[in-house]
Amino acid sequence: MTAHSFADRIAALDGPGGRLCVGIDPHPGILSDWGLPDTAEGATTLAQTVVHAAVAAGVTLVKPQIAFFERHGVGGMSALAQVIGQARSSGLIVIADAKRGDVGSTVAAYADAWLGVGSDFESDAMTAVAYQGVGSVEPLCEAALSAGKGLFVLVNTSNPDGWDIQQALVASGTTLAQHVFDGLVARQGASGLDGWMGCVVGATLQPQERAVQFPDPMPLWVLAPGFGYQGAQLSQLTTLFGGVSEKVIPTVSRSVCQDGPDGVVPAIVSHLRELQE
């Protein structure tokens, strides 16, 4: 890992409160509520407002949802590049919620786009899918390690359609979700470096609903979307994640935008207070 790598920076953050991640989701419904056009320009305005609010409220992590920019075509992707650059130049850690996954040279191309130094979309970390096999994300692992980036791989999502697949048993007798998680742990261990690898686990899942069991100590970061708008409460973080809570990166997205542009900073501060209390 390079100096000031993703692993170093996130390890330096103080507990789940310090690791609150604010999503940047220019959802068409939010754009409408804010009186903004459902265009690349509207998405840019909303995203820049959230970036400024994150800095003002004192959070460090932001997570732009790539799909809400992609839907606006070339203009939207140009806006995304601008927003990522602005966020990183403001000192924020950017996790690109790209959820990319494939095999071979295609994954290597994704790595160039989202983790490549000097890329238009260069981020500090990204999300990925490894249900083609954990080995399929190896080019992303190599890119993260060489550039001091982070990688968060989907393990246990909270959408109902994911239940049957993630709970399915593989040949070893573990669930598919557990199989992916164990593979990520092994890959991080093989690197000889800690802190660059994480998994994505939905916060709206109750512990008994999960298809994965966490070891103690927990070797990976847990990016946990689903707090706020989707129903999980930050005050329940310890109940939901138990002894793993200190490795959780709780994420809030649409809930910070529900009171309009002037309400973003107060909403983030409220979420921070909820975690601290």
Q: How is 57-73 classified by DSSP, letter by letter?
A: HT--EEEEBTHHHHTTH
Question: What's the first-to-final CA gap in the chain, in angstroms?
Answer: 34
Report the C-alpha gap between 176 and 131 in whole angstroms: 9
Catalytic residue among 63, 99, 149, 247: 99
Virtual torsion, Cα 11, 12, 18, 19, nearest 10 deg: -30
Q: Is 99 a catalytic residue?
A: yes
Strands (E), 43-169: 61-64, 93-100, 125-128, 150-156
Report the C-alpha gap between 120 and 180 in whole angstroms: 30
Report the C-alpha gap between 227 and 249 in whole angstroms: 11
Stretches in the chain below the pLDDT threshold 50: none
Cα 88 from chain centre: 15
Q: Find the helix or strand (DSSP H, E) in which 251 lies.
A: strand 248-252
Residue 79 token pair: 């806006």
| pTM summary value | 0.96
Report the C-alpha gap between 127 and 173 in whole angstroms: 27
Residue 190 token pair: 């093989």
Residue 253 token pair: 């997205």
pLDDT on residue 158: 86
Report the C-alpha gap between 153 and 134 in whole angstroms: 9
Report the C-alpha gap between 141 and 124 in whole angstroms: 13
Summarize pLDDT for 17-42 with one digit per residue, the tens.
899 999 999 999 999 999 999 999 99
- Helix boundaries (H) for 138-256: 138-147, 162-167, 176-191, 237-241
Report the CATH architecture of 6-276.
Answer: Alpha-Beta Barrel (3.20)
Summarize pLDDT for 97-127 with one digit per residue, the tens.
999 999 999 999 999 999 999 999 999 999 9
Contact status, residue 80 vs residue 64, Cβ threshold 8 Å: yes
Residue carrying structure tokens 């690109």 = 96
pLDDT on residue 4: 79
pLDDT on residue 2: 56
